[in-house]
Amino acid sequence: MSNENYYGSNAPAPKSKVKEMEDLELFVGKNTQYYEPRFEKYRDTDSKVGWNWVAFFFPVMWLCYRKMYAYAIGYFVLINAISQSYHFIENGVIPNFRLVIWLVFPLFANYIYYRFAKKRVEACDGIINEEERKEKISALGGTNGWAVVIAIVLSCAVAGTEAYIKLGSMNYALPL
């Protein structure tokens, strides 16, 4: 007898909606009551839009808190690269692009988190032992407060360095 399932492959059969949401809730950890209805909406509709106030005010910190480190680094680098472009283009498209990113990101933040969580949970589907699978999902998900602290320290270091460079480039003339 082969390991093929009804779908003709060795891949696991699709999960029920209830099981999928249970796994996502396990992944999210804290604040599942906020994310559950949003994740259900994304799963059941073609909608990708929502709003996340924390992602609006603290995008990099929110990404770090939710363990989306690559996204946090990408956002941080993009925003800082755009900020550095002020030296080259003071008026025009570049300053407005930063504002657009700042306003658009929170619209899709919950969907980005949903896709991230779903991929991480699906990566655990091959684990046969249910207890081990749940432990792995919990470990991959959840939150990380220390990552937020590190993000704040790095943001302050970058801002301080930028301020030092800008102040150092100013010519101070003492009145005679």
The pLDDT tens digits of the residues spanning 70-102 come to 999 999 999 888 877 765 566 555 667 788 898
Q: Is the pLDDT of residue 9 over 60?
A: no
Q: Express each pLDDT in 123-151 by its tens digit.
A: 999 999 999 999 999 999 999 999 999 99
Q: Is the pLDDT of residue 61 over 50?
A: yes
Sequence ranges of the domains in the chain: 17-169
Do 143 and 65 touch, CB atoms closer than 8 A?
yes
Dihedrals φ, ψ of 21, to 5°? -70, -35
Dihedrals φ, ψ of 138, to 5°? -65, -40
| Of 119 and 81, more confident | 119
Percentages helix, strand, coil for the chain, rounded to the nearest 5? 70, 0, 30
Do 96 and 82 touch, CB atoms closer than 8 A?
no
User: What residues contact 53, with CB distance under 8 A and at least 6 apart?
Assistant: 106
The predicted pLDDT at position 12 comes to 56
Q: Is the pLDDT of residue 52 over 50?
A: yes
Cα–Cα dist 6/3, whole Å:
10
